[in-house]
């Protein structure tokens, strides 16, 4: 069964550094998403991406965040200058269309020190 | 605004007994409701969804959920729990104004004891 994959599984970085989290969505899916889950809290929507542009973003997704689909398979989330409060599990998801369920990757645990 | 609530942080049940994981929702308009499960060190896995139609929705691994409009609930159920069902369960609602956005509940940890 096709899966969403994410790399790395754990990323440790120092405050102020840039990080790029990578995702490979399911191949025939057209809609891509990033969510985050701070330890012990809810899963929160960050951004959705379709047709090479952001279709929706939350108030969390400020100018420090950006997303890109650099080629036909990868979908990345970049945090330009990490803060301590960016420490969380980041989940990538994809869906066939905007009506269907979303399929999630295993997550990247980001630790900012 | 759309939201879901999971009133129980944890549910404990003995193997073989029926289980229920509760979810209530608050939406303006018709709800699009989902259940996901998260096993340790894994991503969220889709279990089932309610969009329209029959109030009893059947999903993966023998799970089902009952949509109750009058009680604004979408409880997850299984007639006979397995130890392997032990995991974190999330209820979610889709934003009717923007299908791209999901709102998740806080999660309920299900412990099934042998």
The reply to whether omega before B20 is within 30° of 0 (cis) is no
Query: Measured between alpha carbons, how far is residue A8 from residues A76, A113, B37 in Å?
Result: 12, 17, 22
Whether residue A31 contacts residue A50, with contact meaning beta carbons closer than 8 Å, is answered with yes
Q: Which chain B residues in 50-89 lie under 8 Å from chain A, judged by CB atoms?
A: none
Confidence class for position B98, pLDDT limits 50, 70, 90: low
Residues of B in contact with A88 (CB under 8 A): none
User: Within an 8 Å CB–CB cutoff, is residue A108 touching chain B?
Assistant: no
* pLDDT given for residue B22 in this prediction: 98
pLDDT tens figures, B16-46: 999 999 999 988 777 889 999 998 877 789 9
* pLDDT given for residue A26 in this prediction: 94
Residues of A in contact with B34 (CB under 8 A): 101
Name the more confident of A26 and A42: A26
Q: Is the pLDDT of residue B81 over 70?
A: yes
* pLDDT given for residue A101 in this prediction: 85
Indicate the residue of A4, A42, A93 with minimum beta-carbon distance to B106: A42
DSSP secondary structure of A44-90: EEEEEEETTEEEEE-TT--TTEEEE--SSS-EEEEESS--GGG-EEE
Chain pair A-B, CB pairs under 8 angstroms: 51
**Most distant CA pair in chain B: distance in Å?**
44
Say how far apart CA A84 and CA A33 lie, in whole Å: 23
Q: Which chain A residues in 33-62 lie under 8 Å from chain B, judged by CB atoms?
A: 33, 35, 41-45, 48, 50, 55-56, 58
- Inspect the interface and report whether the beta carbons of A43 and B101 lie closer than 8 Å: no
How far separated are the first and last CA of chain A, in Å rounded? 37
- Inspect the interface and report whether the beta carbons of B100 and A4 lie closer than 8 Å: no
């Amino acid at each position: 069964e096709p899966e969403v994959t994410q790399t790395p599984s754990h990323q440790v970085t120092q405050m102020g550094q840039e990080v790029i989290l990578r995702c490979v969505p399911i191949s025939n899916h057209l809609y891509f998403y990033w969510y985050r889950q701070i330890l012990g809290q809810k899963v929160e929507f960050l951004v959705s991406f379709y047709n090479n542009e952001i279709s929706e973003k939350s108030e969390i997704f400020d100018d420090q965040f950006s997303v890109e689909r650099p080629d036909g398979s990868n979908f990345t989330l970049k945090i330009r200058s990490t803060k301590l409060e960016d420490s969380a599990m980041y989940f990538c998801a994809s869906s066939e269309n905007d009506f269907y369920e979303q399929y999630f990757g295993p997550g990247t645990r980001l630790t900012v020190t | 605004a759309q939201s879901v609530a999971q009133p129980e942080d944890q549910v404990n049940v003995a193997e073989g007994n029926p289980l229920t994981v509760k979810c209530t929702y608050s939406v303006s308009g018709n709800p699009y409701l989902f259940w996901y499960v998260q096993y340790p060190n894994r991503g969220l896995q889709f279990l089932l969804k309610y969009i329209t139609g029959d109030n009893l929705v059947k999903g993966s691994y023998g799970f089902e959920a009952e949509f109750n409009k009058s009680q604004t609930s979408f409880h997850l159920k299984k007639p006979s729990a397995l130890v392997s069902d032990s995991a974190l369960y999330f209820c979610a609602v889709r934003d009717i104004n923007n299908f791209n956005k999901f709102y998740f509940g806080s999660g309920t940890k299900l412990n099934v004891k042998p």
